[in-house]
Amino acid sequence: MAPKGFPTDFLWGGATAANQLEGGYNEGGKGLSSADMIAYIPKDQRSKELSHAMEITSDRIEGILNGEIQARFPKRDGIDFYHRYKEDIALFAELGFKVFRMSIHWSRIFPNGYDEQPNEEGLQFYDNVFDELLKYGIQPLVTLSHYETPLGLTQKYNGWVDREVVGHFARYAETVFKRYKDKVKYWLTFNEINVITISAFTGGGVVVDRLDNKLQGMYQALHHQFVASSIATKLCHEIIPDAQIGCMLARMETYPNSCNPEDIRKAQLANQMNLFFTDVHARGEYPKFMDRYFEENNIVLQKEAGDDELLKQYTVDYISFSYYMTIAVAEKPTGEEGVGNLVEGSVVNPYLESSDWGWQIDPIGLRVTLNTMYDRYQKPLFIVENGLGAYDKVEEDGSIHDPYRIDYLRKHIEQMKEAVRDGVELMGYTAWGPIDLVSMSTSEMSKRYGFIYVDQDDDGNGTLARSKKDSFHWYKQVIASNGEQL
């Protein structure tokens, strides 16, 4: 019989990343990371690219380091979770969270990435955070690398393009597995692993102007991350036998713009190129269709002996992904281009509404995605990011009415429930940015996702005080009713 609702052990919660949440970019012995190199570009000077972090050049890094270019830090480097984690976690507990997704900022533990010894103060900070979560019965779900490659690894090796980084990552993973083995049972290796082929700096600390062949470098860096992910999976199972470790993909379900077979084929290829990443993580081998892509783009991966066996043997326990929107493509696109130039030939889907940032809102697409992925892998799935970035208004009495956010989330959760009825094995759902945090793609504070409002503006001014939005009370009831009261 098809299940009627969510399983009783369904993991409801929220998701964050250290670099957008913590602040304290230079406190407690932390080194700089790729995330700290994101320059702040005011809205009117930005292009329509999804992210201003797309191509970070050597000059830009230099400019940030010598203070000529304004970086996100020190004013916009988070919302001060570093000092306020107790207050924030108490609010998550009030929401009824079963799980809290966060990342360990790698450069808090190994400030340069290649250091021999970890930084005790950084390790202690995460001990404190995990203890606080567990005090309320909230399970931490920890991402090892959320766009946070230590800058030292960029400077020394040009990031993940160099095989040496695999060893440094393995040491970092082993260090945190050993340290937190009694506290953390859910792990993720790389956030949105596919982003490395869109923005090599964001995903892998790779400065592309230092590469002779951009595509070759990006895919080589990716191969190193696949290998590192398998090594981390192996280590995790050895050190924490009762833990589960997964991968993470920015899922971009892509629709053909019409039933013209040319559009259908274009969409199929875009989906293959997106699912390729989870194919390697979950099936343990490169899919055949990538051979042609590599050949046509003169990409020759340098693999070491044993890599293929490693990928095959240490596949992930579950597959997680972020889901914000879908994309439509046409072989011969006309009209306005879809958001972010993420997929070549993208067009605006006339059947869908868009957020203020042009991300097309598609709850049914989430059901489609869940079914597609479960059909393909038959592994448990976990939605670890979903939400609506929106402008919020604080009323004179301090209240914040955000029915648009409730509407977005409600419709997506309804479709999740349908997918569970379709037979999809879904472990949990963590809404992105349960507390307002700094936007990844724009560095804005005003692109808000939270149930909890944070008083900080785009220039980093504000009291940082926390307050509850209407959606806070709504999500609390969703969790308490295990998704029945939407």
Judged by CB under 6 A, how many residues of this single chain contact ligand BGP?
Answer: 14
| Segment lying near ligand BGP (by CB under 6 A), choices 230-238, 256-264, 273-281, 437-445 | 437-445
Shortest Cβ 192–ligand BGP spacing (Å): 5
Cβ closest to ligand BGP, residue 118 vs residue 428: 428
Sign of the torsion angle spanned by Cα atoms 422, 363, 434, 485 = negative
Residue 322 is a binding residue for ligand BGP (CB under 6 A): yes
Piece of 148-156, 197-205, 339-347, 438-446 that binds ligand BGP (CB under 6 A): 438-446
Question: Residue 447, interface with ligand BGP (CB under 6 A)?
Answer: yes
- Give yes or no for residue 192 binding ligand BGP (CB under 6 A): yes
The one-character DSSP state at 359 is P
**Helical (H) or strand (E) element with 219:** helix 214-239
366 versus 420: smaller Cβ distance to ligand BGP: 366
CB 462 within 8 A of CB 448: no
Asked if 278 contacts 381 with a C-beta cutoff of 8 angstroms, the reply is no
Query: For the chain, how far is it from start to end, CA to CA, in angstroms?
Result: 23
Q: Measured between alpha carbons, how far is 188 from 96 in angstroms, rounded to an integer?
A: 22
Which residues, listed in sequence order, are joined to residue 46 by a DSSP beta bridge? none
Q: Which tokens belong to 326?
A: 């879908």
Distance (Å, whole) CA 149 – CA 206? 9
Q: Which of 22, 192, 253, 385 is catalytic?
A: 385
Considering only residues 386 to 405 of the shown chain, the ones binding ligand BGP according to CB under 6 A are 389
CB of 160 to ligand BGP, least distance (A): 17
Least separation in angstroms between residue 1's CB and ligand BGP is: 36
Evaluate the omega torsion of the peptide bond into residue 74 and state whether it is cis, within 30 degrees of 0. yes
Complex with ligand BGP: residue 253 or 263, whichever CB lies closer: 253
State which residue, 172 or 359, has the beta carbon closest to ligand BGP: 359
Query: Is the Cβ of residue 202 or residue 244 nearer to ligand BGP in the bound state?
Result: 202
Cα 12 from chain centroid? 17
Residue 234: CB atoms within 10 Å: 16
Q: Is 233 in the site for ligand BGP (CB under 6 A)?
A: no
Instruction: Say how far apart CA 466 and CA 436 lie, in whole Å.
Output: 9
Token pair of 102 as six digits: 């966060």
Residue closer to ligand BGP (CB basis): 31 or 389:
389
Q: Cα(23)–Cα(175) distance, rounded to whole angstroms?
A: 23
Q: Which of the stretches 91-99, 157-165, 297-305, 434-442 binds ligand BGP when contact is defined by CB under 6 A?
A: 434-442
Q: Does 194 bind ligand BGP (CB under 6 A)?
A: no
38 binds ligand BGP (CB under 6 A): no
Rounded to whole angstroms, the Cα distance separating 457 from 447 reads 10
Does 142 interact with ligand BGP (rule: CB under 6 A)? no
Residue 67, Ramachandran bin (φ over 0: left; ψ between -120 and 50: alpha; else beta): left
- Is residue 436 near ligand BGP by the rule CB under 6 A? no
The reply to whether 385 belongs to the active site is yes
Contact between 439 and ligand BGP by CB under 6 A: the answer reads yes
Please select the residue that binds ligand BGP; options are 6, 10, 14, 17, rule is CB under 6 A. Answer: 17
CA distance 471 to 458: 22
CB of 274 to ligand BGP, least distance (A): 13
Nearer to ligand BGP, 322 or 349 (CB): 322
User: Is residue 199 close enough to count as binding ligand BGP by CB under 6 A?
Assistant: no
Q: How far is the CB of 203 from ligand BGP (least distance, A)?
A: 10
Q: Which of residues 243-282 bind ligand BGP (CB under 6 A)?
A: 250
Whose CA is closest to 58, among 259, 205, 170, 182?
205
Site string for ligand BGP, 367-386 (x = CB under 6 A): ------------------x-
**402 CB contacts (<8 Å, ≥6 apart)?**
390, 392, 469, 470, 471
Among 176, 330, 440, 454, binds ligand BGP (CB under 6 A): 440
Instruction: Write the DSSP assignment of 389-441 as a string of letters.
Output: -B---B-TTS-B--HHHHHHHHHHHHHHHHHHHTT--EEEEEEE-SB----TT
3-state helix, strand, coil in the chain (%, to 5): 40, 15, 40
Is there binding between residue 148 and ligand BGP (CB under 6 A)? no
Report the residue from 34, 158, 191, 320 that binds ligand BGP according to the rule CB under 6 A.
Answer: 191
Who contacts 376 (Cβ-Cβ below 8 Å, separation ≥6)?
Answer: 275, 278, 279
Kindly indicate which of the ranges 166-174, 371-379, 413-421, 432-440 contains the residues binding ligand BGP, using the contact rule CB under 6 A: 432-440
Nearest one of 385, 387, 328, 383 to 357, comparing CA atoms:
387
| Residues with catalytic roles | 385
Contacts with ligand BGP, residue ranges (CB under 6 A): 17, 20, 191-192, 250, 322, 385, 389, 432, 439-442, 447
